Structure 1
Amino acid sequence: MADPVERPADQPECPSMQGAGLLPPELRAWMLLLAATGAVEQELRAVVKGNLDVSHDEFLVLCLLAEEPAGLRMTRIAELLGRPKTRLTYQIACLQHAGLVTRQSVCGDKRGVEVALTEKARRLLKEASETLSETVKRALTQFVGPAQREAMCALLPDLAASPDLEAN
């Protein structure tokens, strides 16, 4: 079994790691995964700000749009990110002001607004992609250890049988 994940001295162990509380195994596993992804997000925030000069939430919008070349409706972006539409409107305005997205009305729908990446945003994402990818991989290596793997396999038993995971 691999060594426990090292963490900075000022970062206490996640309480869910102990497993002696009231949570059922599925909820405990979910909490372990949330803690790990939260730690990865923290690592990514500074890199996103430094490379793209946007907030983490704005970066998530850019990532969604990068996967949809034709753009997405604002209501769909809000649904996918679990964000209030009012907050998303502000984020889109900031991205538009920075020249990273365009907004246009949806034909035949007075209230519909579609958002798409600009060429500037595509170029910046492409230029930053290697650094962002390395940051995610490094953070995952640092924060996802045996407990998180075990939690993921408990939530998704078919994943435990995956030959890709067994090789690691």
Structure 2
Amino acid sequence: MSESRWLDAEEMSAWQAFLTASHLLDRRIEEQLKSAAGLTHPQFEILAILSASPERRLRMTELARRVVVSKSGLTYQVTQLEKRGLVERTTCPGDDRGVLAVLTAEGMRHLEKTAPGHVEVVRRFLIDLLSRQELTTMASAMHKAQEAMRSGEPLSARHTDAGD
């Protein structure tokens, strides 16, 4: 077994800054969504993703992948949204086993009312603090990280020694 490649001071600083900033931003977003619309962040994401999907509908499995939650977590969130009349579930045409999540007209109205406050928080605490170059660099870095994590490759296959 190879030795661990510990983070150097610069890497540790970047990692800790990322963790702290992402947790703080998520808390601000949660606070804003709860107070303005009674929504959780995942619920808002579900509404936003459905609103941008063809016919405002998407298979539950695809929605779970996009929201980055487990299937059971998505089922819980969609159930909460259904109770409020913001989303409904229906079977997929031609595939009785498939389930679609569908944004209702009320869900669209709720999203349109909530989105400006959400964007304001995202801008105030992240986007407007960064230059265009920093935004480009951040997007590139986060896309690389997403790609690595979505590749399905086991962690052991990605581990390399410092000399490799």
Q: Could you tell me the TM-score, scaled by structure 1's length?
A: 0.65
Cα separation, 1, equivalents of 2:60 and 2:127: 34
Higher relative contact order (CA 8 A, sep 6+): 1
- Deviation at residue 38 of structure 1 after TM alignment: 2.7
Q: From 22, 46, 63, give the equivalent of 2:6.
A: 22
Q: What does 1:6-155 align with in structure 2 at a 5 Å threshold?
A: 22-23=6-7, 29=14, 32-70=17-55, 71-140=57-126, 149=134, 152=138, 155=141
Cα separation, 2, equivalents of 1:59 and 1:154: 25
For 1:68, the aligned partner's letter is S
Q: Percent identity?
A: 31
Provide runs of 4+ in structure 1 moved above 6 Å: 24-28
Task: Tell me the SS of whatever aligns to 1:40.
Answer: helix
Task: Tell me the SS of whatever aligns to 1:54.
Answer: coil
**Does the 8 Å contact 1:73/1:113 carry over to 2?**
yes
- Deviation at residue 36 of structure 1 after TM alignment: 2.4
Cα distance change on mapping 1:26 and 1:74 into 2, 3 Å = farther
Q: Could you tell me the TM-score, scaled by structure 2's length?
A: 0.67
* Aligned-residue CA RMSD (Å): 3.2
What is the aligned length? 133
